Structure 1
Amino acid sequence: MRPLRYSINVTLDGCVHHEAGLAPDEESMRYWTAEVERADALLFGRTTYEMMESAWRQPATGTWPDWMRPWEIPFAERIDRTKKYVVSSTLKSVDWNAELVRGDLERAVRRLKQEPGEGLFVGGVTLPRALADLGLIDEYVFVVQPVLAGHGPRLLDGLRERIELELVDRRVFRSGAAAERYRLASRSSP
């Protein structure tokens, strides 16, 4: 069974808006490229899918845009070619190596997790909260940014129940950001 990993940048005050933290640098992009390489497929909600596609889909010309720095290209190439599943009740169709996921979310994601492979990667805000509520996320990876945003969507805001985690890895970047990897806390028998 392949694990489902939720990975996202988050500010010290819990904001997960994609522009709230530090601007990406070469070190952080290498880290995110390695994270995506740990997944056979990406799982996105509509908003995240559309945002990622607008930024990281290779143009039909085959040439990456001028704004993209050379150290961003490996991430772009990996995202571009990776299989994507998009949870949406409003999109009629998707492309960019993607497939729509409709119907019962829990059943669909359990089916995806049962397929062989390295893992599934989920990003975004709304979909991960629903998956966490269903107990489907196996690992949480937060790149904690040394920033106080003061506003914006908050990490897993509105969870129905508390989820206990245990830290399994921590890496500090030169920027002061820290990548923290958590898994579900072991439950000891009484």
Structure 2
Amino acid sequence: MRPLRYSINVTLDGCCHHEAGLPPDEESMDFWTTQMAGVDALLLGRVTYEMMAAAWRRPASGGWPAWMDEAEIRFAEAIDGARKYVVSSTLSDPDWNAELLSGDLETAVRALKAEPGAGLWVGGVALPTALANRGLIDEFEFLVQPVVAGRGPTLLAGLDRQIELDPVDRTAFRSGAVATRYRLRSA
């Protein structure tokens, strides 16, 4: 069974808006590139899918934009080539190596998890909360930014139960950010 990992940048006060926190640097981009390389597919809600495609999809010209540095290009190449499953009731025909995940969310995700492989990755805000409420997330990974945002969407808002976790890994960055990964606590 493939584990499903929820990974996201988050501020000290729990804000997980994509514009909150520190600007990406080479160290954080390399961290996320490694995370992309370690999974079989990404599971994204429509909003996250469209936001990521707008930022990280290879342009039709074939070349990466001039604003991208080498670390951002490495990340863009990893996410651009990744298999993607999109959960949406309004998007009818995703592209960008993606297919629409249809039917009952829990049944569809359990089927993906039952396939052999290294794992699945989910990002975003609303979809991970829905998955956590159904007990479908096996690991939680947060890159905690040393910033208090004071506004914006917060991590797992609307979670209907407490989830107990055991620490698995911790990575400190020169910027002061810390990536922590947890696994569901065994009963």
Letter in 1 for 2:182: Y
Instruction: Count residues with an aligned counterpart.
Output: 187
Give the Cα separation in 2 of the matches to 1:110 and 1:127: 15
| 1:179 alignment counterpart | 179
Give the Cα separation in 2 of the matches to 1:158 and 1:4: 20
| Post-superposition offset of 1:10 | 0.5
Q: Aligned to 1:175, what secondary structure does the other structure show?
A: coil
Letter in 1 for 2:16: V
TM-score (norm 1): 0.97
Letter in 2 for 1:93: D
Letter in 2 for 1:104: D
User: Runs (4+) of structure 1 moved beyond 6 Å?
Assistant: none
| 2:144 alignment counterpart | 144
Give the Cα separation in 1 of the matches to 2:29 and 2:159: 29
Unaligned runs of 5+ in 1: none
Q: What whole-Å deviation, never above 9, does each CA across 1:12-36 have from its counterpart, x for those lacking one?
A: 0000001111000000001000011
| 1:61 alignment counterpart | 61
Q: Aligned to 1:5, what secondary structure does the other structure show?
A: strand
Task: Please report the RMSD computed on the Cα atoms of aligned residues, expressed in angstroms.
Answer: 0.6
| Post-superposition offset of 1:137 | 0.4
Unaligned runs of 5+ in 2: none
Letter in 2 for 1:178: V
| 1:86 alignment counterpart | 86
| 2:47 alignment counterpart | 47
| 1:129 alignment counterpart | 129
| 1:75 alignment counterpart | 75
| 1:119 alignment counterpart | 119
| Post-superposition offset of 1:186 | 2.2
| 2:167 alignment counterpart | 167
Q: What whole-Å deviation, never above 9, does each CA across 1:64-86 have from its counterpart, x for those lacking one?
A: 01111112111100100110000
| 2:7 alignment counterpart | 7
| Post-superposition offset of 1:102 | 1.7
Does 2:30 align with 1:22? no
TM-score (norm 2): 0.99
Q: What whole-Å deviation, never above 9, does each CA across 1:127-178 have from its counterpart, x for those lacking one?
A: 0000000000010000000000001000001101110111111111000000
Give the Cα separation in 1 of the matches to 2:71 and 2:94: 28
- The alignment-based identity, stated in percent, is 69
Q: Aligned to 2:86, what secondary structure does the other structure show?
A: strand
